[in-house]
């Protein structure tokens, strides 16, 4: 049995994202950063996912500056980010040149470990990112986005993982964003992977369905190398297993984590206090949510849909929309419900139900998803949906980014124009700000103005 397990603390990114809609301000993080840095975590997930977006749109923070501050405040601990492969931190594909630039700058500002996934598990959508991360001597963690469907089998996951190892990834992550990986399947999958691959295996699971502690422990029994947890006062619900619980359980099993339970007390009480300031951003879910296991819809997606239906005064249609999500996902070859596919499928299901006609109006994104602009779908696409989508544009089989002609310089020019338009000094000579503009073109005005004031 393995004697040492690494712990990745996710409170600053995924804990924050799953429980507080990613609204944690940097001034509420910095006072506890030194404590976090002293714990002895394998890494701290602190950036990426929705953090960048939230900084720019809601918190009026420069996300690059946040990264500098985090790095400075936690010099001993590896900083980790979640990257959506060729989608970077956005919802569409970007050209290789832009992906390269983004990774160069993220590495420069202090990211040590890049967890890289693609919503469709299309490996050529993460290939370029992995290569670039390695170029800067950083850790590239290739990731599988876990889902359950009639076409996803244990053999598929093993096959995908082997290919990720062959792509020169430094480690593998099994990313269970909805908490649907059961303890026994985790045990089986990781036991098998341990025979088939030699790079370290990390597990990321959520507490949503109530299985996470068991799943983490069974994964450890099977030999997993690293798991993700969140400090107790920012754990469970849509979030993750509590760091302290896991440390306690592992101690009993005589498995070393290098973490002293006592060192977590102050961190936990700090976040308990801070969390009170963010109640307006908390979701309504209490306890455990089985929707994802029963209806295959992640809880986070459900709360969004509830809000949207309420705005349309059509709350009574929620169950129909849930059923429709299952249908749309099936029609698209059982795409994993993870960003950006989850948003695209949720919106289409809502439109199908509200308009009382399936696929009468197709969103631009669903057309792109159907026609290969996000990559090859895991299974077969529904013929009717395919022919409807084909009325709009051509189907592609190429790697999506190969179709993109956009260059970094072109965006530089656009930012120059934009600065002139909103009457601020020219920011286009700063590559980081060009990247912010590329990722959040419409939302970046406020932050640019703040920078120049």
**What are the residues binding Co ion (CB under 5 A)?**
14, 177
Residue 54 or 436: the one with the smaller Cβ distance to Co ion is 54
Q: What is the spatial distance between Cα 293 and Cα 141, in angstroms, rounded to a whole number?
A: 27
| Least distance to Co ion, CB of residue 11, Å | 12
Q: What is the spatial distance between Cα 198 and Cα 171, in angstroms, rounded to a whole number?
A: 9
User: How many CB atoms are located within 10 Å of the residue 44 CB?
Assistant: 25
Cα distances (Å, whole numbers) of residue 149 to 94, 152, 378, 448: 29, 5, 10, 44
Residue 15 or 375: the one with the smaller Cβ distance to Co ion is 15
Contact of 52 with 89, CB cutoff 8 Å: yes
CA atoms lying within 13 Å on the CB side of residue 55: 22
Residue 14 or 225: the one with the smaller Cβ distance to Co ion is 14
Please name the residue ranges forming H helices in 74-152.
Answer: 96-108, 127-135
Minimal CB distance to Co ion: which residue? 14
| Least distance to Co ion, CB of residue 175, Å | 7
User: How many CB atoms are located within 10 Å of the residue 214 CB?
Assistant: 16
Q: What is the spatial distance between Cα 245 and Cα 243, in angstroms, rounded to a whole number?
A: 6
Two structure tokens written together for 8: 């990745």
Please name the residue ranges forming H helices in 11-95.
Answer: 16-20, 26-38, 51-54, 63-73
| Phi, psi angles (nearest 5°) of residue 380 | -80, 140
CA atoms lying within 13 Å on the CB side of residue 383: 0
Specify the 3-state DSSP secondary structure of 181.
coil
| Least distance to Co ion, CB of residue 188, Å | 22
Residue 123 or 177: the one with the smaller Cβ distance to Co ion is 177
Contact of 325 with 296, CB cutoff 8 Å: yes
Residue 143 or 436: the one with the smaller Cβ distance to Co ion is 143
Residue 181 or 344: the one with the smaller Cβ distance to Co ion is 181
| Phi, psi angles (nearest 5°) of residue 44 | -120, 120
| Least distance to Co ion, CB of residue 206, Å | 6
Residue 95 or 342: the one with the smaller Cβ distance to Co ion is 342
User: How many CB atoms are located within 10 Å of the residue 340 CB?
Assistant: 18
In 270-323, where do the E strands start and end?
none
| Least distance to Co ion, CB of residue 137, Å | 26
Residue 14 or 127: the one with the smaller Cβ distance to Co ion is 14
| Least distance to Co ion, CB of residue 74, Å | 21
| Least distance to Co ion, CB of residue 382, Å | 29
| Least distance to Co ion, CB of residue 17, Å | 7
Residue 142 or 400: the one with the smaller Cβ distance to Co ion is 142
| Least distance to Co ion, CB of residue 228, Å | 8
User: How many CB atoms are located within 10 Å of the residue 194 CB?
Assistant: 15
Contact of 204 with 175, CB cutoff 8 Å: yes
Specify the 3-state DSSP secondary structure of 49.
coil
Two structure tokens written together for 111: 């990211």
Residue 145 or 217: the one with the smaller Cβ distance to Co ion is 145
| Least distance to Co ion, CB of residue 8, Å | 11
Two structure tokens written together for 353: 């139900």
User: How many CB atoms are located within 10 Å of the residue 64 CB?
Assistant: 22
């Amino acid at each position: 049995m393995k004697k040492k397990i690494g712990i990745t603390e996710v409170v600053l990114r995924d804990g924050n994202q799953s429980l507080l809609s990613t609204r944690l301000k940097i001034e509420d993080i910095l006072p506890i950063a030194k404590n976090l840095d002293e714990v002895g975590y394998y890494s701290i997930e602190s950036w990426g996912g929705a953090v960048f977006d939230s900084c720019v749109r809601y918190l009026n923070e420069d996300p690059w500056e946040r990264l500098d501050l985090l790095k400075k405040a936690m010099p001993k601990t590896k900083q980790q980010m979640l990257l959506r492969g060729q989608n970077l931190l956005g919802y569409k594909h970007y050209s290789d040149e832009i992906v390269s630039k983004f990774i160069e700058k993220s590495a420069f500002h202090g990211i040590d470990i890049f967890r890289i996934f693609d919503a469709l598990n299309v490996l050529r959508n993460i290939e370029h990112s992995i290569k670039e991360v390695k170029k800067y001597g950083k850790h590239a963690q290739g990731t599988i986005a876990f889902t359950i469907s009639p076409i996803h089998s244990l053999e598929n996951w093993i096959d995908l993982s082997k290919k990720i190892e062959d792509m020169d990834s430094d480690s593998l992550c099994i990313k269970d964003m909805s908490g649907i990986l059961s303890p026994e399947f985790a045990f089986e999958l990781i036991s098998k992977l341990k025979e088939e691959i030699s790079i370290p295996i990390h597990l990321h699971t959520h507490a949503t369905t109530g299985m996470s502690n068991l799943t983490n422990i069974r994964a450890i029994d099977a030999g997993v190398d690293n798991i993700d947890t969140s400090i107790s006062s920012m754990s469970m619900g849509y979030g993750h297993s509590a760091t302290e619980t896991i440390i306690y359980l592992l101690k009993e099993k005589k498995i070393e984590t290098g973490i002293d339970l006592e060192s977590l007390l102050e961190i936990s009480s700090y976040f308990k206090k801070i969390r009170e300031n963010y109640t307006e951003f908390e979701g309504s879910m209490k306890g455990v949510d089985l929707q994802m296991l029963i209806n295959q819809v992640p809880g986070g997606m459900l709360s969004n849909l509830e809000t949207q239906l309420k705005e349309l005064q059509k709350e009574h249609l929620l169950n129909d929309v849930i059923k429709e999500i299952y249908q749309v996902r099936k029609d698209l070859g059982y795409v994993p419900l993870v960003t950006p596919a989850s948003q695209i499928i949720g919106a289409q299901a809502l439109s199908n139900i509200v308009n009382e006609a399936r696929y009468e109006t197709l969103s631009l994104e669903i057309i792109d998803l159907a026609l290969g602009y996000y990559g090859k779908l895991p299974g077969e696409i529904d013929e009717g949906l395919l022919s409807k989508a084909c009325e709009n544009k051509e189907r592609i089989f190429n790697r999506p980014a190969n179709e993109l002609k956009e260059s970094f310089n072109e965006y530089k020019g656009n930012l120059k124009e934009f600065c002139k338009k909103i009457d601020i000094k020219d920011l286009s000579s700063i590559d980081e700000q060009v990247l912010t503009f590329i990722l959040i073109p419409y939302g970046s005005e406020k932050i640019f103005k703040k920078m120049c004031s």
